[in-house]
């Protein structure tokens, strides 16, 4: 009896503090849950101002991207681009990118998206909205991915109402970073070095950016809609099966005989590199050291007594104390000078490459004109295709000269080499047709270059203005009726393009 | 006889209850996670949210975890002893709410450990500093003056703004 009593007393004596401890632990856990709780926001809410109600600092800093508002007409700066992209949208209009705030506005205003008059017209497919708007994941969720990727750009005009924002990277239930574009998951899984399902928080701080800052093409995909009709979707696809490098993707496209467009002058089956920012960054010093995009482009900033990640995505050089100097201990000026030297080196080689490749196109055009045969031109065109692809891959992501200078210069070197190889072969062909001393026409300004390739510039501008003052205004009205239009997303937007002065537009 | 049987019954029940309660407390407190060195263990409690977040945004993230700076690295016995003592103090403070406000401060003994770890990793850079500082001290002193590395390098690695309320929307922490 004695032993039982002792045991009971000891046990109860142990149970009582343990119960109190358990209560205390659960209270603390409840407090932690309250601290980590997130507000109720609708799934795939596309209006960023709705998220901004609860995350005011992040939202305000996101809206600061409006300060990056300068239109830099790249065709004006590098007229060779017009020749290189002859027959392709980019020869019509191409500006350096502006802040996230302008993303959708610029997509709608560019001459590349043309002047559709209804849902069935215009030069571009629906896929061109894909990286421009928070309404894209919402719409894909609503109608399905294949349906979304089917038809002309103008088809979704009344649904795509908001520029890229909160819902593109954040899960509404947890606020965790999330991938809202499934093609990134498919690309990562095909490449294999980092499976989408295994991504850590630190990986996600780059992957949310990689959803859009990557190379892609529109893969033709057959499907049957619910009425049993055959449809063809152009699904955004990352060509990562063989790897991230310029050569690996080149192989990928060659294996599939993929052609973005046929060059108007040289008849080359061309590739257009989009902006392989993520892929190139992975090969550079920062990428190799697991420094995420957000570490430099969305640094921790202090505002009064509060710290948060700035959502004013832009150049880290604008506030180096919070970015570079977090890890490096050097003078700001020394850093800026070094970055400027990197840029100058890239500019030197890219100018050379553009000149070589543009001339190759024009010389090839002359060879065709003089009656060169398919057999004579085959190897030459392949060289031009590869030269331009490599040049484009190396510079299209803008930041590549900094993210991975060695890789960028290496690819540019190989682009120049391929281009010159084509020109050596072209000289032989031209000589055969008694034009050994042929010189390509002058393309030293945007206007001259557009005349060389026969681009009806004014017609394109007129069509665009008709669209902007017509169909676009109808879209906005429909968006308002559907409750998609976020007034705050468009507040203070000024009409600013490379082709028309402000007074031309009614808005 | 009956009371004796009852008591036996009660004894078995209460022992089972105690064992069960112990298991539950172990589960609720993530007891076994404390054997690991994963920085996320430190945000089992919300008190460390800001410390975790600021470290996660610092350059030390890639090189040093929480315990690599905050626990002694010279001997395993020292490390386990320090970890147990700190663990006890932290649990006590959490349970009885003996810490004040949201802005926690480091203890004197932890300061010494961290200073030793700073020097341990950065010894090539600081060797001359430590050698020189001896010249300014009376004989028999340790060789280090009172100031710590972070008396000057105040932002390393947690920054100067580091109370619980300063990083309200931290995603790295909310991952848990």
Write the DSSP assignment of A287-325 as a string of letters. HHTT--HHHHHS-EEEETTEEEE----S-GGGGTTTTHH
Helix axes of A405-432 and A374-395: crossing angle, nearest 10 degrees = 160
At residue A177, φ and ψ (nearest 5 deg) are: -70, 140
Q: Does B95 touch chain A (CB under 8 A)?
A: yes
Query: What residue has token string 């809206």?
Result: A63
Q: Is the pLDDT of residue B175 over 70?
A: no
Using CB atoms, pick whichever of B7, B166, B176 lies closest to residue A1: B7
**Measured between alpha carbons, how far is residue A47 from residues A67, A82, A94, A208, A223 in Å?**
20, 37, 28, 18, 31
Which has more pLDDT, B173 or B17? Answer: B17
Contact A305 B11 (CB under 8 A): no
Which positions in chain B touch A177 (Cβ < 8 Å)? 171
- Give the residue from chain B lying closest to A28, CA to CA: B45
Q: Does A37 touch chain B (CB under 8 A)?
A: no
Report, as an integer, the average pLDDT of B113-136.
85
Q: Does B53 touch chain A (CB under 8 A)?
A: yes
Report, as an integer, the average pLDDT of B15-30.
93
Q: What is the pLDDT of residue B140?
A: 63
% chain A with pLDDT above 90: 87
Contact A21 B176 (CB under 8 A): no
Contact B7 A306 (CB under 8 A): no
Q: What is the pLDDT of residues A451-474, one digit of tens each?
A: 889 889 999 999 999 999 999 999
Contact B28 A289 (CB under 8 A): no
- Which sign, positive or negative, has the C-alpha torsion A160, A164, A165, A166? positive
Q: Is the pLDDT of residue B176 over 60?
A: no
Mutation target vs A (from B63, B88, B171; most A CBs, 10 A cutoff)? B171
**Contacts with B, A 325-344, CB within 8 Å:** 326-327
Q: Where are the beta strands (DSSP E) in A41-137?
A: none
Per-residue confidence band for B169, with pLDDT thresholds at 50, 70 and 90: confident
Contact B94 A28 (CB under 8 A): yes
Element at A193 (helix H, strand E): none
CA distance A238 to A397: 15
CA distance A302 to A326: 13
- Give the residue from chain A lying closest to B95, CA to CA: A24
Contact B17 A327 (CB under 8 A): no
User: What's the complex ipTM?
Assistant: 0.82
Q: Which structure tokens are listed for B50? A: 């800001």
CA distance A313 to A168: 14
CA distance A384 to A421: 9
Q: Is the pLDDT of residue A128 over 90?
A: yes
Q: Is the pLDDT of residue B171 over 80?
A: no
Size of interface A-B (CB pairs under 8 A): 113
CA distance A489 to A417: 46
Using CB atoms, pick whichever of A55, A291, A326 lies closest to residue B169: A55
Which positions in chain A touch B64 (Cβ < 8 Å)? none
CA A451 to chain centre: 30
DSSP A198-220: G--HHHHHHHHHHTTSS--EEEE
Contact A289 B62 (CB under 8 A): yes
CA B86 to chain centre: 6
Report, as an integer, the average pLDDT of A463-492.
94
Element at A231 (helix H, strand E): strand A230-237
DSSP A452-504: HTT--HHHHHHHHHHHHHTHHHHHHHHHHHHT---HHHHTT-----SSS-GGG
Q: What is the pLDDT of residue A484?
A: 95
Contacts for A52 with CB less than 8 Å, ≥ 6 apart: A58, A59, A60, A62, A166, A488
Mutation target vs A (from B52, B164, B170; most A CBs, 10 A cutoff)? B170
B150-154 long-range contacts (CB < 8 A, ≥24 apart) are: B150/B118
Using CB atoms, pick whichever of B4, B45, B168 lies closest to residue A306: B168
Which residues, listed in sequence order, are joined to residue A231 by a DSSP beta bridge?
A223
Q: Which residues of B15-39 are buried (b: 16+ CB within 10 A; e: fewer)?
A: bebbeebeeebeebbeeeebeeeeb
CA distance A299 to A324: 10
Which positions in chain A touch B165 (Cβ < 8 Å)? 305-306
- Give the residue from chain B lying closest to A300, CA to CA: B57
% chain B with pLDDT above 70: 91
Q: Does B62 touch chain A (CB under 8 A)?
A: yes
Q: What is the pLDDT of residue B155?
A: 85
Pairing between strand A230-237 and A306-309?
unpaired
Neighbours of A365 (CB within 10 A): 22
Which positions in chain B touch A19 (Cβ < 8 Å)? 21
Q: Does A27 touch chain B (CB under 8 A)?
A: no
Which residues, listed in sequence order, are joined to residue A222 by a DSSP beta bridge?
A232
- Give the residue from chain B lying closest to A54, CA to CA: B169
Report, as an integer, the average pLDDT of A230-256.
96
Mean pLDDT of chain A: 94
Using CB atoms, pick whichever of B8, B164, B175 lies closest to residue A4: B8
Q: Does A197 touch chain B (CB under 8 A)?
A: no
CA distance A457 to B73: 70
- Which sign, positive or negative, has the C-alpha torsion B121, B125, B131, B133? negative
For chain B, the C-alpha Rg in angstroms (whole number) is 22
Using CB atoms, pick whichever of B18, B22, B161 lies closest to residue A307: B161
Contacts for A380 with CB less than 8 Å, ≥ 6 apart: A360, A364, A367, A422, A425, A426, A429
């Amino acid at each position: 009896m004695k032993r039982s009593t002792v045991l009971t007393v000891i046990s109860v004596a142990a149970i009582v503090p343990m119960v109190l401890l358990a209560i205390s632990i659960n209270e603390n856990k409840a407090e932690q849950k309250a601290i980590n709780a997130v507000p109720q926001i609708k799934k795939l809410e596309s209006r960023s101002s709705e998220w901004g109600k609860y995350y005011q600092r992040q939202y305000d800093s996101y809206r600061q991207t409006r300060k990056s508002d300068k239109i830099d007409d790249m065709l004006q700066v590098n007229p060779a681009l017009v020749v290189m992209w002859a027959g392709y949208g980019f020869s019509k209009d191409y500006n350096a990118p502006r802040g996230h705030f302008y993303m959708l506005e610029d997509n709608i205003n560019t001459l590349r998206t043309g002047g559709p008059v209804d849902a069935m017209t215009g030069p571009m497919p629906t896929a061109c909205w894909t990286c421009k708007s928070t309404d894209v994941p919402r719409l894909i969720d609503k109608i399905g991915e294949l349906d979304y990727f089917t038809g002309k750009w103008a088809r979704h005009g009344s649904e795509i109402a908001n520029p890229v924002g909160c819902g593109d990277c954040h899960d509404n239930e947890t606020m965790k970073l999330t991938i809202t574009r499934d093609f990134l998951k498919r690309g990562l899984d095909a490449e294999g070095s980092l499976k989408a399902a295994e991504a850590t928080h630190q990986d996600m701080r780059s992957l949310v950016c990689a959803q859009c800052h990557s190379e892609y093409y529109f893969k033709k995909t057959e499907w049957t809609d619910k009425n049993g009709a055959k449809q063809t979707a152009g699904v955004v696809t990352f060509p990562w099966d063989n790897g991230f490098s310029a050569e690996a993707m080149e192989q990928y496209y060659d294996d599939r005989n993929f052609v973005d467009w046929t060059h108007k002058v040289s008849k080359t089956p061309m590739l257009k590199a989009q902006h392989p920012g993520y892929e190139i960054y992975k090969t550079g010093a920062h990428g190799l050291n697991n420094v995420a995009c957000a570490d430099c482009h969305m640094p921790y900033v202090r505002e009064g007594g509060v710290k948060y990640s700035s959502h004013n995505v832009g150049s880290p050089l604008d506030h180096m104390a919070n970015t570079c100097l977090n890890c490096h201990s050097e003078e700001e000026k020394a850093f800026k000078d070094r970055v400027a030297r990197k840029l100058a080196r890239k500019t030197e080689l890219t100018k050379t490459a553009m000149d070589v490749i543009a001339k190759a196109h024009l010389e090839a055009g002359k060879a065709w004109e003089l009656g060169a045969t398919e057999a004579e031109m085959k190897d030459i065109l392949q060289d031009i295709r590869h030269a331009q692809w490599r040049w484009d891959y190396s510079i299209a992501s803008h930041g590549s000269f900094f993210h991975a200078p060695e890789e960028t210069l290496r690819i540019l070197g190989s682009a120049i080499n391929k281009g010159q190889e084509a020109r050596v072969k072209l000289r032989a062909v031209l000589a055969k047709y008694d034009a050994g001393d042929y010189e390509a026409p002058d393309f030293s300004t945007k206007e001259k270059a557009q005349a060389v390739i026969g681009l009806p510039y004014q017609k394109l501008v007129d069509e665009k203005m008709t669209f902007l003052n017509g169909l676009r205004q109808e879209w906005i009205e429909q968006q308002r009726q559907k409750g998609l239009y976020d007034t705050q997303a468009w507040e203070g937007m000024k009409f600013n393009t490379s082709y028309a002065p402000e007074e031309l537009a009614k808005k | 006889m009956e009371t004796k049987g009852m008591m036996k019954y009660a004894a078995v029940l209460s022992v089972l209850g105690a064992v069960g309660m112990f298991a539950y407390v172990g589960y609720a407190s993530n007891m076994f996670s404390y054997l690991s060195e994963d920085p996320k263990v430190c945000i089992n409690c919300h008190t460390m949210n800001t410390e975790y977040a600021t470290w996660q945004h610092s350059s030390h993230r890639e090189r040093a975890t929480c315990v690599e700076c905050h626990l002694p690295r010279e001997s395993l016995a020292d490390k386990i002893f320090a970890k147990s003592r700190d663990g006890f103090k932290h649990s006590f403070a959490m349970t009885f709410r003996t810490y004040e406000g949201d802005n926690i401060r480091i203890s004197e003994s932890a300061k010494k450990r961290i200073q030793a770890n700073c020097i341990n990793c950065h010894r090539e850079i600081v060797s001359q500093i430590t050698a020189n500082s001896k010249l300014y001290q009376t004989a028999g002193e340790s060789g280090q003056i009172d100031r710590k590395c972070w008396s000057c390098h105040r932002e390393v690695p947690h920054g100067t703004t580091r109370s619980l309320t300063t990083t309200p929307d931290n995603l790295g922490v909310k991952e848990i």
